[in-house]
Amino acid sequence: MDIILGYVTTILVFFFTYNIFTLGLNIQFGYTGILNFTVITFMAIGGYVAAVLAMPKAPAGSGIYYILGLNLPWPIAALGGVLAAGLLGYLIGQIALKRLRSDYLAIVTLATGTLLYGLIGNGTSIFDGWQGLFNVPQPFAGFRTWTPLGYSIFFTIVTAVIFVFLWLFANRIYKSPLGRVMRAVRDDQDVVEAFGKNTFKIRMTAMVLGSMYVGVGGVLTIAYITALSPAGWTTGETFVVWAALLVGGRGNNFGAIVGSFLVAVVFNEATRYLPQIPAHPNLIPDIRYVLIGLAVILSVYFRPQGVFPEKKNTFFEVPLGDNSKTIEEHLAGGLSKVGEQ
């Protein structure tokens, strides 16, 4: 029973963190139309920075090296991780969001991802190279003496609470004037510019906010599994997040949840139980990526709006030639107001 519960809690943490990644990408791509092809790098940076802030100094002579090691309490470390992810988003935005076509941004994100992957992997003194960090202190560990299962359940609840908060916040942004102008930028940047809006600032806001969301997911990931090596954040992982968003429905946060569930949990976990073929240990992950790639291409072709499409705005309309009532009376009579969902 304990084993099943432990498994379920792990899946749930996995599900919630992927949801948070997908929400972050949704703010960037779904709301604002920013192509971020290195989502998982923000997760890594968020996680790594939070880890080195929380960990004590690397013991000398142990062959383990990492920067900082400030031994800070976990809330500050977590905040640092999220801010670091946001800062990386800001830097990439500074390079690529100014007056450039969307493919340049896609190239810069992909290039940054490849570059950081190589730098962190080869630069053993930053985050211990290909080995990655391990023994990252668990938050809440000092609260009381936890049984491993009790801790997992508690952590799942914490992750769920953070997810719900972020979900509500993302929905709030969607409905806010900022969210409206973000979607306008996505649909036609030139028109928004003609209306005198600073599109660079709007896209930058979305970029940084989305990066910070992904950073939160990264902090939670590293805090739960207490280790992270570069093998855990390859380009394929970014694509799982993209697949989740596109299958679920871009622009729609509910779709993002469904997509995360379908792709990150059902799909990833189901293929885990395919029989292993000893001669080809990589066959199953490869088939998984082939299927995820196919799912994305097919869903973009057949149903680009996703399983749960974004709701169209409805605007009130006074029936032509109907002068019997004033506009106010029409509004009172149940016609929806401007800008409401």
Partner 1 sequence: MSLFFLTLGFGLVTASVLSLLSVGLSLQFGVTNFVNFAYGSYLSAGMLFTWTFSAKLHFPFVLATVCGVILTAILALIVNEVVFEPFAKRRKSIFYMLIVTFGLSLLLDSILQIFYGVGFDKFPIKQSAAIKIGPFDFTGVQLLIILVAVVSMVVIHLLLTRTSLGKKMRAMSDNPDLAKISGIDTKSVTRATWAISGALAGLGGVVLALNTVYFETTTGDSLLFVIFAAVILGGIGQTYGAMLGALVIGVVTEVSAVWVSSAYKTDVAFLILVIMLLVRPQGIIASQGKA
Matching residue, tokens 């949704």: 26
DSSP secondary structure code for residue 97 in this structure: S
Q: Is 294 in the site for partner 1 (CB under 8 A)?
A: yes
> CB under 8 Å to 110, separation ≥6 — which residues?
37, 38, 235
Q: Is 114 in the site for partner 1 (CB under 8 A)?
A: yes
> CB under 8 Å to 304, separation ≥6 — which residues?
246
Q: Report the alpha-carbon distance of residue 330 to residue 228 in Å, rounded.
A: 59
Judged by DSSP in three states, 217 sits in: helix
Q: Of 95 and 265, which has the nearer Cβ to partner 1?
A: 95
Q: Is the dihedral of CA 132, 8, 289, 248 positive or negative?
A: negative
Contacting residue, 54, 108, 204, 256, with partner 1 by CB under 8 A: 108
Which H/E stretch holds residue 237? helix 235-248
Binding window for partner 1 (CB under 8 A); candidates: 43-51, 233-241, 264-272, 316-324? 233-241
Q: Is 231 in the site for partner 1 (CB under 8 A)?
A: no
Residue 197: CB minimum distance to partner 1, A = 20
Binding window for partner 1 (CB under 8 A); candidates: 2-10, 56-64, 77-85, 106-114? 106-114
Q: Report the alpha-carbon distance of residue 273 to residue 113 in Å, rounded.
A: 30
Residue 231: CB minimum distance to partner 1, A = 12
Mark residues 41-80: x for contact with partner 1 by CB under 8 A, - for none. ----------------------------------------
Q: Is 88 in the site for partner 1 (CB under 8 A)?
A: no
Q: State which amino acid sits at residue 167.
A: W
112 alpha-carbon distance from chain centroid: 17
Whether 223 and 136 have beta carbons less than 8 Å apart is answered as yes
> CB under 8 Å to 153, separation ≥6 — which residues?
5, 9
Contacting residue, 51, 58, 246, 256, with partner 1 by CB under 8 A: 246
Mark residues 304-333: x for contact with partner 1 by CB under 8 A, - for none. x-----------------------------
Whether 5 and 228 have beta carbons less than 8 Å apart is answered as no
Q: Of 54 and 240, which has the nearer Cβ to partner 1?
A: 240
Contacting residue, 37, 42, 127, 224, with partner 1 by CB under 8 A: 37
Question: Where along the sequence are the contacts to partner 1 (CB under 8 A)?
Answer: 29, 33, 35, 37, 95-96, 99-104, 106-108, 110-112, 114-115, 118-119, 122, 235-236, 239, 242-243, 246, 280, 282-283, 285-287, 289-290, 292-294, 296-297, 300-301, 304
